[in-house]
Each structure stands twice: as structure tokens, then as C-alpha cells.
Structure 1
Amino acid sequence: MALPHRGFVWLSMPKCASTAVEEVLEPHARVILRGEFKHTNYTAFTQRIEPVLAGGGHRRESYEVVCLFREPVGWLESWWRYRSRPELKEGPKAHNYTGDMSFTEFVDRYVERHPSLLGIGRPARFCSLQAERVGVDRVLRYESTDVWQGWLTEKVGQDLGFRQTNVSAKRPAELDPGVRRRAVDFFGPEYDIWAHLEPDGQWAPPADHLLSL
């Protein structure tokens, strides 16, 4: 969602409060991406949306590009829960159903890049430019609710009335320690970003911060 008149563009990373943020920002946004474009990543933003904003008089240096970022294994757990919805089992995307799969199996398949999970992507790639360096101007930690909600409230200039939406059903998420270690190794670039978020819940990456994806 683009709010260049408020000084920022919000990229909605999947499984990071996208619906809740969209709900409160929609009345204030100049550009709203829906459907298949809802989760536009940073590289796609530079190719498709940045030129549109520039044509409207909003040069890139006049606004920040911002996104939420979740603890990587927790982010993956959210995907596992989301794909366990009963309605998915019988629908056209039944091949994505995880209701009969343990979290350990799900993580193992993700790390092995099983075809059924390739559509999930990965957080570091979402916020990077051509998968080489962090491209967004500010990353906000999903778990630090007071930080990112406060940041948005200050930018928009009024109480936004956040509420929790689109929450997946709870399931036991036991994870084999060995598989967890594999996931942490796989998510090396993600945990690099995550480490910068731990002090105060947000990070403005330097332009030369490289990733190995």
C-alpha cells in the first residue's frame, strides 16, 4: 500500500499481519495492491510501483519503503497452520493442504525445497533487491506490536484502531531439534536481518548490506 504523502510505502509480507494493516491503512492510501499483487516484494515494487509513484510526482527519495519481518521459524509455523484449514483439503489447492502433516515434516520439506512448498518463498528475498542486498528502507519486527503500530500511527497522524484478523487455528507445533537446526542454517540471511531487529524492534539497513541467498 502506497502512502507517499505520508512518507512511506508498506510492503505486505505474507503471514505478517497483512490483513490487519490493510484494513487500517486503506482509507489513507493513494495506491492499494490487491489480489495477486497484494504481497508485492521489493524487487517487484521497484519494477512496477516505483515508476507509477514517480509519474505522480513522488520521487523514490521522498518516501520510505517499509515491511514487517517475523522470526523465521515462527513465520514458517504460521504458513503450516494457515495451510491446515479444513476448506483447503477439498478445494482446488488441496495439494497445499498440511492438516495431515506434522510441523517437523513441513519444515523438512520446506528446507528441501519440495515442489508443493515452493510458492511460500522466503522473507529475506521478499525485502531484498534481486536477492542480493536488503532493499527496503526500514524493517519492523512483527512481534514488537507496540513498535510497528506506533510507527504507523505516528506516520498517518491518527489512531488507527488496530484489531487482530485472519488468525489461523492453533495446532501443536513440535519441531525435531535436528530439523530446527537445519532450518536455522537455511534461514541464515533471515536471521542476519532478525539479529538487527532485536535491540529495539526496527532497523534501517545500510544501502550496502549484502545477503547470501
Structure 2
Amino acid sequence: MLVFAKEQLVILAVPKTGTSALSAALAPRASMVLRNPPSIKHVNMRRYQRFLRPLINQSQETGPEVMAIIRHPVDWLGSWYRYRTRDALLGHENSTANISFDDFVLEYCKGKPAEFAKVGSQNKFVRLNDDNLGVDHLFRYESLNKAVQFLEQRLDVEIDLPMRNVSPVLDLQLSPDIKDKLHEKRSEEFAIWERAQS
């Protein structure tokens, strides 16, 4: 998570959406950078609103605006799947090394998925406790240039994004019936992506 006090802007770090690259590019310019542990780096809107916003916004009536980037659900799940195939996780309950992408997505669709498919929800990440959207500026990962343009203008800085935290390259093809099931079981994930700026 990045905080820009002067510009009154907070960037939430939704996992697997290029926020490591943004953090690397903008950390020197930020007032506050939350990197570790991952539970702090990837603090969601609910936790930000409850715990961090009061600290950041001590003297002003209105808090800073909040920005986030989200990814198309299938691509987002593909990134998680690829990330969890790496050798470092072999033998671990989070490993997807011996699991097909179809099986990974099917498991994700369950109410209580196995550890390897517990990756959270982008939709829940950007919502408040009352289920309203909490972020002011929501961008699509697939249109990252729009987010960069917004930040360059808002922060008056030129941004050159480095490659960071890139998952292994795999050719992932989701079966049509599994894709349909994902749409059915996790329709809110597609709806929030549709709502983001393209």
C-alpha cells in the first residue's frame, strides 16, 4: 500500500495486479509505504477504513481518495495458479504444481476451497463493511496505462514500471464449462471488473 499525504491519495495493493511494480516505481515519492508482512502490504478496503485511515487522516474531515487496480477474474486466477506452481512451493499445501488449471478454478468456486485455491476475492478487497465500493478510482489491470496516466497527472511524476513479481509463463486454457461455472459461482468478480475503468 502506498500513501501520498500531500496529494491525498492512497493506492491499495490488490494481489496479482501489478502493484509490486507500482510500489517499486513510486515508493521514493510516497509518504508511507507498507511492504511487509503481506497482510499489511495487501491491506483491503475494510481494514484500511478501520485501522489505517484514522492514522493517515488525523486532521482533515475528508480522507484521502483511494485507488485500486483489479484484473479480469480468469487472468487473475491464472496468475495465482502460475505463481503457486513455482518450485519453492513443491510439497506445500498451496502448491498447484500437480493440479490442472480447470481443477484449480473449480476448487476456487467452492464455498470453502482447499488451501491451494484460497486466493481471496478482488470484489471483497475493494468494498467497505456495508458492501459499498470503497475505492474512488478503480482501474483494470488490462488497461494499466490508464492507471499510470492518472497517477502521473495526480502525482506530477513520470512513471516507468519495472517488471516485478512475475509468475512463471504457462499456456492456460480454461474449459468452457468451467468458465461458465466460474461466471455462475463468482459473478460478483466479473461485475466489479466490468465496473472498473477500461
User: Structures share a fold, TM > 0.5?
Assistant: yes
Matches within 5 A, 1:93-112: 94-112=92-110
- TM-superposed CA distance for 1:28, in Å, is 1.4
- List runs of 5+ in structure 1 lacking aligned partners: 202-213
Matches within 5 A, 1:40-189: 40-55=43-58, 57-59=59-61, 61-90=62-91, 94-112=92-110, 113-117=112-116, 119-130=118-129, 132-189=131-188
* 1:67 match: secondary structure: strand
**Would the alpha carbon gap of residues 62 and 44 (structure 1) be closer, same or farther in structure 2, given more than 3 Å must change?**
closer
- TM-superposed CA distance for 1:62, in Å, is 4.8
Q: Who is 1:12 aligned against?
A: 13
Q: Could you say what the CA RMSD is over the residues aligned between the two structures, in angstroms?
A: 1.6
Preserved CA contact (<8 Å) 1:89 1:97 = yes
Preserved CA contact (<8 Å) 1:85 1:99 = yes
> TM-score under structure 2 normalisation?
0.91
Q: Does 1:32 align with 2:45?
A: no
> TM-score under structure 1 normalisation?
0.85
- TM-superposed CA distance for 1:69, in Å, is 1.0
CA distance in 2, matches of 1:168, 1:117: 16
Preserved CA contact (<8 Å) 1:104 1:176 = yes
- TM-superposed CA distance for 1:84, in Å, is 0.5
CA distance in 2, matches of 1:33, 1:10: 10
CA distance in 2, matches of 1:4, 1:119: 34
- List runs of 5+ in structure 2 lacking aligned partners: none
- TM-superposed CA distance for 1:73, in Å, is 1.3
CA distance in 1, matches of 2:124, 2:72: 15
Preserved CA contact (<8 Å) 2:14 2:69 = yes
- TM-superposed CA distance for 1:174, in Å, is 2.0
In the alignment of these two chains, the number of paired residues is: 194
* 2:17 match: secondary structure: coil
CA distance in 2, matches of 1:131, 1:163: 36
* 1:9 match: secondary structure: strand
| Percentage of pairs with the same residue | 28
